């Protein structure tokens, strides 16, 4: 069954970006977008345009940092990497998701 | 830990450029990926852009995230607006000039109002200061008598300090000979009351109130001029009226006593034991200045002191006419007097001018908005929100307003100087008018307000842009709304101009009526001057009549002089002498009468060309030892001897020397107090029979009166070398000065009405031209169908005329209401004078016709083919 394509919600985009960076190491914006699309098997169609404001927000919160570098074909690109604070945030978010899932499970079983 | 903040700062500094690069990279990578998937390069790129979801939007959201949105948008808007303005220099020039005119005029008027009405008086805590006098039975301020002043000072509960002053003058013997110093006798606590201490030396002390009063505090300019600015003058003496006065101190530079004329020096008001004589309670010659205690209101001060006044009145014989009432008025109000209302009216008038300018600007911008609607539509199509479009248009208007405001500030500075040069001298604080924070704030507010006002129209036009319609080639829809707005603006402008023109017209008529009032004498080519007849410091009553007679005789021998005379007071001089009298053989209706009273030489009335109605003028045989005689004017004759011939009747005065005068002549009334005032009773006696210590010369000349001044001075020097001649002027100048305030407001209002008219006409021209341009196609069709030149002209001119008529009709009601506010300034003309209104409406209509004529002519020259092709 194909899940209907849905817009990714605000907060979850942050989560996905952090996870991506944590797993894959430093990446540039396009790379992040590609990866998210890959993981979700194209089910989550990220409006690529919303990615960049999200990256900025994450920067402001101090969960990722950015550095200009040179890409594989010698072009200037901005590379993002996760920070310690970002990793901690990731753990916390993952935990709260799990707790949420467990709660919902209990409710469903109980009913 | 610091990293994210540094990142943020860095992003802020790098601005958008970093983001652009990043996005470009992204698009390239996506394009590559698409090409790799097998798309054609162009398609690949397009898909990449689509996937990104709109670059501008992304950018904006990023900026939102950065929190910079407002700022960068604003910067972008401003840059864009500047570019637009630079691209159309003609439009920008016209707009900025129009604004400069409107805002400049407003700034100039406001700086005057600021100086006169708003700025605090230059004394310590100046709004606690009041002008304090006794009041007559009508409640009008009527000066203070010395014994009463002392009582008020001692018994009041409301004043921290109460001081008094009276005018004085001294002959000052300086290095260049005798000179006149304007002075004031002030009570010893005067400067303490005002809260300003002398800059050099010290103040008067309580001891000075009882002493001989031979001390002086100098004003800064006088100290500079007479003592060379030498600080060692403190403790030294200067000679005033021949006597030595010790210089106690010098007042700070820029200090101005709350009085209309500048004062050279102050001496102590000596109020010794004689000042407490209850018989002097009716002799009012002082003016009080009081500092209210904290928390006391003007009203409370009045109530408290009124009790004292009533007690004094109750304890005095009625013959003394002691006032039982007081007048307590804020110091500023008493100084500003009648000027507040006309000044505010002028500000209103100049505000109208600004509104009209704003209207023209709105129309100009609407025109531009129409031209740029394709651009607007494009921007809306690619994602600009309506809010953004409005903001961008408003930014442009505000920028224009800012430029106009800056230009207006410069114009205002120049205008203020112009106003100052024109204004009558007696407005307090006027000389200080200039740029200060309040005026700057006013200019800024006026510019921004105007910008918002005229910016709204095109902003809404931009917002209401219908994308589909505008992108099409011919966009006729949605324009009728604009037409209404444009025409409506011009009609409003015309209505406002009508009000201003009507007001100006009424003032002009009033002024002309005033000038046409016969003064009762001939002021042309008459020199006037003041002469002191006693040697300084001496009272030489015996020599006065002879001195005057000889002086007048000698002056009459000067070539160019027709005749000369002397009097104690001249008409229109703001001075007067009043005496109480009774008429034993006249009407007995009211016992105690008052008349203006002057001592004159025989030739005086003839020199002023005052017509003799009956009887005779004074002659040389009306000397000191001859029977006392008097001449009266018509008003006095009519009032006190109604229906009979006063010649031969008698007047009894309370003077110590001569009590009963026999009337020998009746002269025509003179407008003594002012051209717009009713004539009051006047009585003349021969100078020889009541010689005062001074006399005012009147000399009628053939040619320019100024030419004989030096000759007169030399004659005076031969006769009496120690007697100075000053306050030299001409009768014509005194007449002119007496109407100066009226002339000032008339000139101002006329100037502003003229500006308004020009602006409104420009508005008509603009709207009619625009209509012609819009209707070029229609005109072409009409001409193709056989309409002649004249008909096309009539068509266009009719548009202009319709606007004018609508404006006049709508404006008439408002103008009638507005001119009602002018009523107190008018003379001999009613506020709804139909002739003025008719003339002004007609003039406006004709001017509108002229303004429509030129675009009309342009319309007829339209080439048929061009017209038909153009849409």
Name the least confident of B30-34, B419-423, B550-554, B723-727: B723-727
Please, which pLDDT band fits residue B326 given cuts at 50, 70 and 90? Answer: very high
By DSSP bridging, strand B284-292 and strand B144-145 are: antiparallel
Whether the predicted pLDDT of A5 surpasses 80: no
Residues from chain A contacting residue B57 (CB–CB below 8 Å) = 49
Q: Which residue of chain B has the CA closest to A66?
A: B7
Q: Which residue of chain B has the CA closest to A64?
A: B4
- Nearest to B705, CA basis, from B732, B724, B671, B734: B732
**Candidates B58, B64, B67, partner chain A, best to mutate (most A CBs within 10 A):** B58
Whether the predicted pLDDT of A2 surpasses 50: no
Cross-chain Cβ contact B61/A48 below 8 Å: no
The answer for B 54-113 residues in CB contact with A (under 8 A) is: 54, 57-58, 61-62, 64-66
Task: Reduce the DSSP state of residue B759 to 3 states and report it.
Answer: helix
pLDDT given for residue B684 in this prediction: 93
**Candidates B3, B19, B22, partner chain A, best to mutate (most A CBs within 10 A):** B22
pLDDT given for residue B240 in this prediction: 86
Q: Give B388 or B353, the one with higher predicted confidence.
A: B353
Q: Decide if B858 contacts B799 (C-beta within 8 A).
A: no
Give me the mean pLDDT over the A65-73 stretch: 85
By DSSP bridging, strand B660-667 and strand B612-615 are: antiparallel
For chain B, what percent of residues have pLDDT higher than 90?
A: 35
Residue B172 β-bridge partners: B179, B240
Q: Does A61 touch chain B (CB under 8 A)?
A: yes
Task: Reduce the DSSP state of residue B784 to 3 states and report it.
Answer: helix
pLDDT given for residue B189 in this prediction: 94
Q: Which of B52, B57, B62 lies at the smallest CB-CB distance from A56? A: B62
pLDDT given for residue B474 in this prediction: 46
Give me the mean pLDDT over the B319-324 stretch: 79
Angstrom CA distances, B671 to B554, B594, B716, stand at 29, 17, 30
For chain B, give the number of residues. 871
pLDDT given for residue B5 in this prediction: 60
Cross-chain Cβ contact B25/A33 below 8 Å: no
Q: Which of A29, A30, A59 lies at the smallest CB-CB distance from B4? A: A59
Residues from chain A contacting residue B61 (CB–CB below 8 Å) = 49-50, 52-53
Cross-chain Cβ contact A83/B3 below 8 Å: yes
Q: Give B631 or B724, the one with higher predicted confidence.
A: B631
The answer for B 335-364 residues in CB contact with A (under 8 A) is: none
d(Cα B440, Cα B444) in Å, to the nearest integer?
A: 6
d(Cα B398, Cα B357) in Å, to the nearest integer?
A: 15
Q: Does B20 touch chain A (CB under 8 A)?
A: no
Cross-chain Cβ contact B28/A75 below 8 Å: yes
Q: Decide if B42 contacts B97 (C-beta within 8 A).
A: no
pLDDT digits over B506-565, tens only?
999 999 999 999 999 999 999 999 888 777 666 777 788 888 999 999 999 999 999 999
**Candidates B65, B68, B69, B72, partner chain A, best to mutate (most A CBs within 10 A):** B65
pLDDT digits over B654-694, tens only?
766 667 899 999 999 999 888 888 888 999 999 988 888 77
**Candidates B19, B26, B50, B62, partner chain A, best to mutate (most A CBs within 10 A):** B26
CB atoms within 10 A of CB B376: 23
Average pLDDT, chain B: 85
Q: Supply the DSSP symbol for B294.
A: T
Q: Does A65 touch chain B (CB under 8 A)?
A: yes
The answer for B 34-53 residues in CB contact with A (under 8 A) is: 51-53
Q: Give B88 or B4, the one with higher predicted confidence.
A: B88
Whether the predicted pLDDT of B463 surpasses 70: no
Q: Which residue of chain A has the CA closest to B64?
A: A53
Give me the mean pLDDT over the B469-475 stretch: 50
Q: Which residue of chain A has the CA closest to B8?
A: A60
Residues from chain B contacting residue A48 (CB–CB below 8 Å) = 26, 30, 51-53
pLDDT digits over B286-311, tens only?
899 999 999 999 999 999 999 999 99
Q: Residue A13 burial (CB < 10 Å; 0-12/13-18/19+)?
A: buried
pLDDT given for residue B537 in this prediction: 61
Cross-chain Cβ contact B4/A61 below 8 Å: yes
Q: Supply the DSSP symbol for B597.
A: E
Q: Supply the DSSP symbol for B206.
A: G
Residues from chain A contacting residue B47 (CB–CB below 8 Å) = none
Whether the predicted pLDDT of B715 surpasses 60: yes
Give me the mean pLDDT over the B98-118 stretch: 91
d(Cα B144, Cα A39) in Å, to the nearest integer?
A: 100
Residues from chain A contacting residue B23 (CB–CB below 8 Å) = 52
pLDDT given for residue A9 in this prediction: 47
pLDDT given for residue A6 in this prediction: 40
For chain B, what percent of residues have pLDDT higher than 70?
A: 90
Q: Give B859 or B601, the one with higher predicted confidence.
A: B601
Q: Which residue of chain A has the CA closest to B48?
A: A48
Whether the predicted pLDDT of B13 surpasses 70: no
Residues from chain B contacting residue A76 (CB–CB below 8 Å) = 21, 25
Q: Is A62 left (phi over 0), alpha (psi -120 to 50) or beta?
A: left
Cross-chain Cβ contact A49/B3 below 8 Å: no
Give me the mean pLDDT over the B2-30 stretch: 70
Cross-chain Cβ contact A62/B61 below 8 Å: no
pLDDT given for residue A43 in this prediction: 57
Residues from chain B contacting residue A65 (CB–CB below 8 Å) = 3-4, 7
Output the six-digit token pair for B154. 């001692």
Q: Which of B29, B58, B64 lies at the smallest CB-CB distance from A30? A: B29
Q: Decide if B212 contacts B189 (C-beta within 8 A).
A: no
Q: Which of A28, A53, A57 lies at the smallest CB-CB distance from B25? A: A28
Q: Which residue of chain A has the CA closest to B4?
A: A62
Q: Which of B3, B28, B65 lies at the smallest CB-CB distance from A53? A: B65
């Amino acid at each position: 069954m194909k899940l209907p394509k849905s817009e990714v919600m605000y907060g979850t985009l942050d989560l996905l970006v952090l996870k991506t960076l944590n797993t894959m190491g430093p990446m540039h914006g396009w790379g992040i977008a590609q990866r998210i699309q890959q993981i979700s098997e194209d089910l989550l169609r990220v409006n690529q345009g919303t990615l960049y404001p999200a990256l900025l927000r994450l920067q402001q919160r101090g969960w990722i940092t950015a550095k200009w570098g040179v890409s594989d074909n010698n072009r200037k690109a901005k590379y993002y990497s996760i920070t310690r604070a970002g990793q901690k945030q990731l753990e916390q978010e993952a935990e709260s998701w799990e707790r949420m899932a467990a709660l919902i499970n209990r409710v469903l079983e109980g009913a | 830990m610091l990293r994210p903040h540094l990142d943020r700062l860095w992003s802020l500094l790098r601005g958008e450029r970093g983001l652009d690069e990043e996005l470009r990279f992204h698009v390239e990578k996506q394009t590559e990926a698409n090409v790799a998937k097998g798309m054609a390069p162009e398609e690949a790129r397009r898909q990449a852009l689509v996937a990104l979801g709109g670059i501008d939007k992304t950018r904006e959201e990023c900026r939102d995230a950065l929190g910079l949105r407002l700022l960068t948008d604003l910067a972008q808007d401003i840059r864009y607006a500047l570019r637009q303005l630079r691209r159309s220099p003609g439009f920008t020039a016209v707009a900025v000039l129009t604004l400069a005119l409107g805002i400049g005029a407003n700034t100039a008027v406001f700086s005057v109002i600021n100086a006169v009405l708003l700025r605090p008086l230059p004394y310590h805590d100046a709004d606690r200061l009041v002008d304090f006098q006794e009041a007559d039975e009508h409640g009008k301020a009527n000066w203070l008598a010395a014994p009463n002043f002392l009582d008020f000072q001692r018994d009041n509960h409301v004043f921290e300090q109460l001081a008094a002053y009276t005018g004085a003058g001294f002959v000052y013997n300086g290095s260049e000979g005798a000179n006149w110093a304007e002075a004031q006798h002030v009570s010893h606590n005067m400067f303490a009351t005002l809260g300003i201490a002398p800059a050099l030396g010290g103040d008067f002390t309580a001891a000075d109130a009882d002493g001989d009063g031979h001390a002086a505090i100098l004003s800064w300019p006088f100290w500079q001029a007479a003592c060379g600015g030498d600080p060692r003058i403190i403790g030294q003496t200067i000679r005033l009226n021949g006597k030595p006065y010790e210089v106690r101190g010098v007042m700070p530079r820029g200090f101005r006593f709350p009085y209309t004329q500048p004062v050279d020096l102050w001496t102590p008001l000596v109020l010794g034991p004689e000042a407490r004589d209850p018989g002097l309670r009716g002799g009012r010659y002082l003016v009080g200045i009081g500092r209210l205690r904290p928390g006391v209101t003007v009203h409370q001060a009045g109530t408290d002191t009124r009790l004292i006044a009533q007690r004094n009145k109750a304890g005095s014989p009625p013959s003394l006419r002691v006032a039982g009432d007081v007048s307590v008025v804020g110091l500023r109000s008493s100084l500003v007097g009648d000027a507040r209302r006309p000044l505010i009216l002028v500000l209103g008038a100049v505000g109208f001018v600004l509104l009209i300018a704003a209207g023209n600007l709105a129309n100009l911008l609407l025109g531009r908005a129409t031209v740029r609607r394709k651009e607007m539509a494009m921007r809306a199509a690619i994602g600009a929100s309506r809010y953004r479009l409005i903001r961008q248009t408003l930014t442009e208007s505000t920028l224009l307003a800012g430029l106009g405001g800056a230009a207006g500030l410069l114009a205002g500075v120049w205008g203020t100087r112009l106003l100052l040069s024109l204004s009558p001298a007696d407005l307090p604080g006027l000389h200080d008018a200039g740029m200060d924070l309040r005026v700057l704030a006013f200019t800024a507010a006026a510019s921004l307000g105007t910008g918002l006002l005229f910016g709204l129209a095109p902003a809404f036009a931009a917002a209401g842009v219908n994308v589909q319609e505008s992108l099409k080639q011919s966009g006729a829809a949605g324009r009728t709304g604009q037409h209404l707005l444009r025409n409506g603006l011009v009609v409003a402008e015309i209505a406002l101009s009508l009000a201003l023109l009507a007001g100006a017209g009424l003032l002009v008529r009033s002024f002309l009526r005033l000038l046409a009032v016969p003064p009762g004498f001939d002021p042309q080519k008459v020199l006037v001057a003041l002469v002191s007849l006693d040697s300084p410091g001496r009272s030489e009553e015996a020599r006065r009549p002879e001195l005057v007679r000889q002086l007048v005789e000698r002056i009459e021998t000067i070539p160019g002089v027709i005749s000369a005379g002397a009097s104690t007071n001249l008409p229109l001089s703001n001075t007067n002498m009043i005496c109480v009298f009774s008429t034993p053989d006249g009407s007995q209706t009211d016992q105690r009468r008052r008349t203006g009273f002057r001592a004159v030489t025989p030739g005086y009335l003839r020199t002023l060309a005052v017509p003799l109605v009956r009887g005779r003028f004074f002659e040389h045989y009306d000397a000191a030892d001859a029977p006392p005689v008097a001449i009266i004017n018509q008003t006095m004759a009519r009032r006190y001897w109604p229906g009979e011939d006063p010649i031969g009747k008698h007047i009894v005065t309370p003077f110590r020397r001569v009590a009963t005068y026999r009337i020998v002549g009746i002269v025509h009334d003179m407008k003594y107090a002012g051209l717009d005032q009713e004539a009051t009773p006047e009585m003349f006696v021969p100078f020889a029979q009541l010689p005062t210590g001074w006399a005012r010369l009147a000399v009628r000349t053939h040619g320019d009166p100024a030419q004989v001044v030096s000759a007169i001075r030399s004659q005076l020097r031969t006769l009496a070398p120690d007697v100075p001649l000053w306050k030299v002027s001409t009768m014509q100048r005194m007449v002119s000065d007496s109407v100066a305030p009226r002339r000032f407001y008339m000139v101002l209002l006329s100037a502003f009405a003229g500006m308004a008219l020009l602006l409104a006409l420009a508005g008509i021209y603009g709207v009619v031209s625009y209509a012609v341009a819009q209707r070029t196609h229609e005109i072409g069709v009409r001409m193709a169908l056989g309409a002649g030149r004249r008909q096309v002209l009539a068509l266009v001119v009719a548009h202009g005329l319709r606007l004018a008529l609508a404006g006049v009709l709508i404006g008439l009601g408002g103008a009638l209401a507005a001119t009602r506010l002018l009523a107190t300034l008018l003379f001999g003309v009613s506020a709804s004078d139909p002739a003025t209104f008719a003339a002004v409406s007609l003039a406006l209509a004709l001017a509108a016709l002229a303004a429509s004529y030129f675009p009309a002519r342009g319309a007829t020259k339209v080439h048929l083919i061009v017209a038909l092709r153009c849409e």
